[in-house]
Amino acid sequence: MKRSPWKTALNRLGHQLKSTVNAQVQPLRSRLLNDPYYRFQNLDEVKLAAELGISIDVNQATTDDWLRLPGISIHQARSLVSLQQSGVQFHSLEDLAAALSLPVQRLQMVSPILKFCYYDRQSPCVIQTVPINTASVEQLTRIPVVDLFLARAIVEQRQQGRFQNIADLQQRLDLSTEMISALMHYVTVG
């Protein structure tokens, strides 16, 4: 049975369209998989990221993680991280919406890549972090790599101004690479 020229042309057009779409999606697919800081531009990219297995654990997300989501501002991202660092755990989309003072419907679009995991902060397996800019000498000495001398030096140096980040802490206290590598897991700068 011979195909009509119309069906052959339609099939050819369908294959060309599919090839064009694949050619456009492939670079995006590669970028999503290889660039952990890529900020999603629209819902289609969020859906594609979810299909590729990309997710954001809301209870361990960093500011950079939150900024990947379309419509999330730097202020909102920092607010969520601050809440998380203070011990707040998000259990649902409704919790996130309440924390951001947004309607739940506004967050529905990003829900395919959000993962809500529970972490027991009292577990001995979880590192208890200390806020470097507000911790007392006593709190600092509870950190395994900090002795009394270093704890006092941190508090004294903090009187000159808050630590901006871990690199600032290292530079102002002239800490070795090994010391800062061990210390950075136990402190938060905020």
pLDDT digits (tens, 9 = 90+) for 101-157: 999 999 998 999 999 988 776 666 666 788 899 999 999 998 989 999 999 999 999
Residues 96, 80: contact at Cβ < 8 Å? yes
- % of the chain with per-residue pLDDT over 70: 82
Instruction: Give me the pLDDT at residue 118, please.
Output: 81
The predicted model gives 71-89 an average pLDDT of: 90
Q: Is the pLDDT of residue 17 over 60?
A: no
Q: State if pTM tops 0.75.
A: no
Instruction: Give me the pLDDT at residue 188, please.
Output: 85
Count the residues in the chain: 190
Average per-residue pLDDT for the chain: 86
The runs of H, that is alpha helices, within 55-189 are: 63-67, 74-85, 93-100, 104-108, 137-141, 148-158, 166-173, 177-183
Instruction: Give me the pLDDT at residue 112, please.
Output: 93
Q: Which residues contact 87 (CB under 8 A, 6 or more apart)?
A: 121
